[in-house]
């Protein structure tokens, strides 16, 4: 039996009102999607970034992770798989975002099948949705300790350490952990999702980097990482002594203050400090690039800094410095 369909024709004014209301609903729905309103610079782009956002949202909404806790987990996921949902290492028998064991062989155990949605070596079942199910299953079961810790985390670096140590089951001093990498990535993710003014700067974040290598290992890489962790933009240029002038427009647009040829009383905790040829950077014939660091403390004409690549040692170190006229500029973060 055919179903009788009754058509109703609307007058033009009513139809136009309906169209306008529909457009308003679409715009409103789009503008309410605050998950994408991030102003920082992410460590990855493209599909990897979309996967990272989805993972963060799931960890925070379903497993009640704090932002810091989720950033720590993302740092480890990036190290493990680069956010490639179907990343596979046949030799190790591991697969997925967190390289769970049991894919093809059991040399490292068998965790990937524990929830049941991911089947054998059936690639179509290795989906993001099924991996979320596996994460939930483990965080509610054998790995509830890490869920408890990351639901209370206030420090993304500690979050990355807890996830790596407990969920991955690898000690922090094991080379596989790559502590320097996950430390840097955890702070970058937290800066991306929570970009904005940093007051006197994220000095505590640099303290945690002591003894590690940031980026290329050059002095410039540490200052660039520090600026990005606060305001989400990367320094550009070649010479450390020109950081203030090369990036002046970006600094000012993000609320930073740049002081050229500063006096001793201009120095403050949290500033990026840049040197030209002189006692710190050395002679220009040997080092034409200058030097840069971040001020950790100030007392009269003396101050301490976080610096990298001091004496050709490419790790973050704390240095004692004295004011001199070779300082080309200091760049001061915005106040909270």
Q: Render pLDDT for 15-31 as a digit per residue (tens, 0 to 9).
A: 333 433 333 333 333 33
- 187 & 216 share domain: no
- 211 & 267 share domain: yes
State the pLDDT at residue 12. 37
Tokens of 268: 């403050």
- 253 & 279 share domain: yes
- 243 & 166 share domain: no
Task: Note whether residue 65 is domain-resident.
Answer: yes
Task: Note whether residue 200 is domain-resident.
Answer: no
- 186 & 214 share domain: no
- 253 & 132 share domain: no
Domain that holds residue 174: 44-193
| CA dist., res. 69 & res. 4, Å (int) | 58
Instruction: Give the count of domains, the chain.
Output: 2
- 322 & 234 share domain: yes
Task: Note whether residue 15 is domain-resident.
Answer: no
Question: For position 322, which CATH number holds?
Answer: 3.90.1720.60
Task: Note whether residue 84 is domain-resident.
Answer: yes
First-to-last alpha carbon distance for the chain, in angstroms, is 71
- The helices-and-strands tally (H runs, E runs) of the chain is 11, 9
State the pLDDT at residue 275. 98
Task: Note whether residue 262 is domain-resident.
Answer: yes
State the pLDDT at residue 336. 58
Number of neighbours of residue 90 by Cβ within 10 angstroms? 11
Q: Which of 147, 164, 193 is the last residue of a domain?
A: 193
Task: Note whether residue 164 is domain-resident.
Answer: yes
Residues lower than pLDDT 50 in the chain: 1-35, 196-201
Q: Which of 138, 172, 193 is the last residue of a domain?
A: 193
State the pLDDT at residue 21. 36
- 189 & 293 share domain: no
Closest residue by Cα to residue 41 from 221, 253, 188, 198: 188
Question: For position 68, which CATH number holds?
Answer: 1.10.530.10
Task: Note whether residue 5 is domain-resident.
Answer: no
**CB-CB contact of 42 with 82 (8 Å):** no
């Amino acid at each position: 039996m055919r179903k009788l369909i009754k058509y109703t024709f609307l007058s033009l004014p009513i139809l136009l009102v309906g169209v306008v209301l529909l457009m308003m609903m679409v715009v409103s729905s789009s503008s309410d999607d605050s998950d994408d309103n991030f102003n920082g610079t992410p460590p990855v782009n493209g599909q990897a970034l979309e996967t990272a956002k989805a993972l963060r949202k799931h960890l925070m909404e379903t497993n009640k992770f704090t932002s810091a806790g989720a950033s720590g987990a993302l740092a480890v996921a990036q190290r493990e798989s680069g956010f490639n949902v179907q990343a596979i290492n046949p030799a190790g028998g591991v697969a997925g975002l967190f390289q769970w064991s049991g894919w093809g062989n059991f040399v490292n155990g068998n965790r990937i099948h524990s929830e049941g949605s991911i089947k054998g070596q059936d690639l179509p079942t290795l989906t993001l949705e099924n991996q979320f199910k596996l994460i939930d299953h483990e965080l509610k079961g054998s790995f509830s300790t890490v869920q408890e810790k990351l639901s209370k985390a206030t420090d993304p670096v500690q979050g990355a350490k807890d996830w790596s140590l407990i969920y991955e089951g690898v000690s922090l001093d094991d080379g596989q952990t790559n502590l320097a990498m996950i430390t840097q990535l955890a702070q970058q993710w937290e800066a991306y999702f929570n970009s904005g003014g940093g007051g006197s700067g994220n000095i505590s974040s640099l303290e945690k980097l002591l003894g590690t290598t940031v980026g290329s290992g050059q002095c410039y890489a540490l200052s660039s990482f520090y600026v990005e962790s606060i305001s989400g933009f990367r320094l550009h240029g070649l010479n450390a002594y020109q950081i203030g002038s090369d990036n002046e427009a970006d600094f000012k647009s993000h609320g930073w203050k740049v002081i050229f040829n500063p006096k001793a009383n201009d120095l403050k905790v949290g500033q990026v400090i840049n040197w030209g040829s002189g006692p710190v950077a050395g002679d220009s014939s040997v080092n034409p690039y200058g030097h840069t660091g971040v001020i950790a403390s100030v007392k009269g004409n003396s101050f301490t800094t976080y610096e990298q690549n001091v004496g050709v040692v490419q790790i973050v170190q704390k240095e004692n410095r004295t004011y001199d006229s070779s300082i080309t500029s200091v760049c001061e973060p915005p106040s909270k």
